[in-house]
Structure 1
Amino acid sequence: MTETPTSVLVVGATGGIGRRVVAAAERHGLDVRALVRDPHRAERTLPGTQLVRGDLEQPATLTAALQGVDAIVFTHGGNGNPDAARRIDYGGVANVLHALDGRTPRLALMTSIGVSRRGAYGGSTGQLLDWKRRSERLVRASGAPYTIIRPGWFDNVGPGDELLVLEQTDTGNGGIGRDQLAEVLVRSLLTETAVGRTFELFAERGPAPSDWSGLFAALAADPSGGLDAVGDPSSLPSVAEEPDVVQQDLGRLGH
């Protein structure tokens, strides 16, 4: 059984999802820190929130920000091009995990639907999804209690779409509200049955959830000690097929 966290660091805190995660975490009584590159500028976006300076591309700047927190939510992302995906979407996760230096706080990672659909997307989109999938592997390799959420299309929802649909085949397609996603990310930190789960997240017409423990408990856990999600296809690359930097990062995490 994992302990319920009382403090959380939000990575990507000034973004469209990150700001909502900060608000949701504060509503749930968590002690919230927002990781930002420029605290003075971020004050306008997150007034009243504790801001800690750190740059995801500069590992040495992350150590102080991580001290004392017992949960981390990753909501960050680059501009969509492959280089940014490698440096930020993937690299940000790698640098935070390495800066933890073996500590294992509760983790919630936001990636995307489609990350396991190898070859389904070409060009920069396919490369972006590949790097996000690789960041998932790092989180599973870290030894920390985690939840990985693969959201559908942001805000592609209508009035009354309050029913949350959690799937584990990475074949679905649909939308999710940004506020809904933020709530699920925070609830995953506070709910024991969310640990070790990876799932796609959509919203459909129907009532909002009232039993969060039951919602997560209905999911299958990822294979113990594995690098991929329970519903991922066997055709995903082996570690030996991954880029050198991924192999090195996994090696540093014990895989």
Structure 2
Amino acid sequence: RRSPPNIPNTSRSDARERMSTFVVLGARGGTGAQLVHKLVARPDVKEVRSVVRDPAKVEAGTMPDDPKCKVVGGDVTDVESLQAIFAGATVVINATSGRSFEQCLAVDQVAVGATAKLALEAGVQRYVLVSSQLVHPANTWKFVRLILNNVITGFKAPWSSKPGMMDMKFQGEQLLRASGVPYTIVRPGRLVDGPLDATPFAGQTNSHFMKGAASTRADVAAVCILAAEDERTRNCTFELASDATKPGAKDGSMRGEPV
């Protein structure tokens, strides 16, 4: 498979002029909070609508004390609660994830399709989805995917007709692709906090990339923002890993490029 573009090159200048209002779904989460902090620090961003289910539950210090940051109540499983939030937005970044079978079905699958449709209707220029490595069904019997597929949803897939978490994430991706809204899907490997002191790499494998090496949530957030403003990542899916010190990280067979 071909490598995705080296994201931070020069074709973003025109896009920067357009992209002023961002919507971050799942803003209370680790990656979501990183997205909000990085976005408000950018001079070209006018407003960041940080969507949480209950603003009253947002702990002090989670969100930046910045007038550009607007903490708003909304639920991805209730698109009516998001209509006013999506109005006038240029980019939507979805960093939500379910924590049970019911939540994964509602959040990782159904809500991705519903919010993508709403984004299309609102004229959003890019919908960025944070997904995961190994979600593609070609990886069904890979050990890591088997664990991830069932650890949250209970032992179901692929031994029963009920899907697991990874299955539902992939179906959410498919709904986004079919929605018609311009999209970018970012598939990180293992997520960790803090700095890794390594260069993030992107590649297209539909499988493990750099052996599932870790990415910091901060790096995932940074790559999502870069991808949102780059025309070369329009309607593109790619894997992400940040630990370039692991064996195989610079193996040409990985077909990766530094971000």
Same fold (TM over 0.5): yes
How far 1:58 moved relative to its partner?
Answer: 1.9
> Given the alignment of the two structures, is residue 205 of structure 1 paired with residue 244 of structure 2, yes or no?
yes
Deviation at 1:56, TM superposition (A): 1.7
Q: How many residue pairs get matched?
A: 208
Partner of 1:162: 199
User: Which ranges of structure 2 fall in alignment gaps of 5 or more residues?
Assistant: 1-10, 158-163, 246-256
**1:154-176 deviation per Cα after TM superposition (whole angstroms, max 9, x unaligned):** 12897532242433332332111
2:59, 2:117 → 1: CA distance?
A: 28
- 1:59-98 → structure 2 map (5 Å cutoff): 59-79=79-99, 81-98=100-117
Larger deviation: 176-185 or 36-45?
A: 36-45
Higher relative contact order, structure no. (Cα contacts within 8 Å, ≥ 6 residues apart)? 2
Distance 2:59 2:93 in 1: 20
Task: Give the corresponding residue for 1:42.
Answer: 58
Q: Residue deviations 1:52-110, cap 9 Å, x none? A: 2211222221111111101100000111x222110112232133234346344111100
The equivalent residue for 1:129 is: 166
TM-score (norm 2): 0.72
> Would you say the 8 A contact 1:108–1:185 is kept in 2?
yes
Structure 1 counterpart of 2:140, which letter?
R
Distance in 2 separating the partners of 1:86 and 1:8: 25
Change (3 A) 1:158 1:97: closer
Number of the residue aligned with 2:252: none
Partner SS, residue 169 of structure 1: coil
SS of residue in 2 equivalent to 1:102: helix
User: How far is the alpha carbon of 1:22 from its aligned partner?
Assistant: 0.7
Return 5+ residue gaps in structure 1 as ranges.
Answer: 207-217, 220-255
Q: Does 1:12 align with 2:26?
A: yes
Question: Superposition RMSD on alpha carbons, in Å?
Answer: 2.7
Does the 8 A contact of 2:116 with 2:127 survive in 1?
no
1:2-33 C-alpha deviation (Å, 9 max, x unpaired):
95422110000010000001111122332211
194 and 101 in structure 1: CA distance in 2 versus 1, 3 angstrom threshold: closer
CA contact under 8 A between 1:89 and 1:135: conserved in structure 2? yes
Report the CA distance between 1:47 and its aligned residue: 4.2
**Residue equivalent to 2:248:** none
- The farther-off stretch of 62-71 and 12-21 is 62-71
The two structures have a TM-score, normalised by structure 1, of: 0.73
